[in-house]
Amino acid sequence: MWDQRYASKDYLYGTEPNGFLQDNVALLPKKKVLCLADGEGRNSVYLAGLGYDVTAVDSSKVGLKKAQQLAKAKGVAITTVHADIADYDLGIEQWHGIVSIFCHLPPQLRLELHSKIYPALVIGGVLILEAYTPQQLKFKTGGPPVAALTMQSDQLIIELGPLRLNLNQEIIRDVFEGSGHTGKGAVVQVIGVR
């Protein structure tokens, strides 16, 4: 499915980084960062341009190929890993930052992935997460087609424990990220620290 979505010459979500990530990037220790479901690489390439050691994991070979092309065009290097997020081993105390931008998964898989984030971060490591909430279905400006694939702040408190959540809010904001996300968006935003 994602290989087909990324098959166009254009970048589905644009080549600029996610706004929430951009606004909070200074909170990430400038070391090893993992970008979950990074697709065509806009966020990983942005972080690499700031001097981070970035690994982008995604299930789409087409998306990752475009991520490498974007990295080359911007004169930076990223590591890309083609893997199903369900099978990807985040490791133990391996990452100084984990970035999860619109990484929408079925509930059980999301729960399993989120339970791996705390142990995968080093002490002081930071999670930056933004995702659509169920309210997004009213806007129809991008995101998953069903509420079960969205996230809510109260769920994330449970799923991401024992991370210390310095921010966990649901807001409506303008999201202009390529043709894939355009217009008003209902999002949940999280900044967590181990």
Position 108 confidence tier, pLDDT thresholds 50, 70, 90: very high
Q: Can you name the residues that pair with 167 across neighbouring β-strands? A: 191
Position 134 confidence tier, pLDDT thresholds 50, 70, 90: very high
Burial grade of 87 (CB within 10 A; 0-12, 13-18, 19 or more):
exposed
Q: Can you name the residues that pair with 168 across neighbouring β-strands? A: 190
User: What value does the mean pLDDT of the chain take?
Assistant: 95
Give me the domains of the chain, ranges plus CATH numbers: 2-193 (3.40.50.150)
Q: What pLDDT, on a 0 to 100 scale, did the predictor assign at position 13?
A: 80
How crowded is residue 161: how many other Cβ atoms within 10 Å of its Cβ?
Answer: 13
Asked whether the beta carbons of 97 and 34 are under 8 A apart, the reply is yes
Dihedral of CA atoms 21, 26, 27, 31 in degrees, nearest 10, equals 100
Asked whether the beta carbons of 102 and 128 are under 8 A apart, the reply is no
**pTM attached to this predicted model:** 0.96
Q: What pLDDT, on a 0 to 100 scale, did the predictor assign at position 178?
A: 80
Q: What pLDDT, on a 0 to 100 scale, did the predictor assign at position 11?
A: 82
Asked whether the beta carbons of 58 and 73 are under 8 A apart, the reply is no
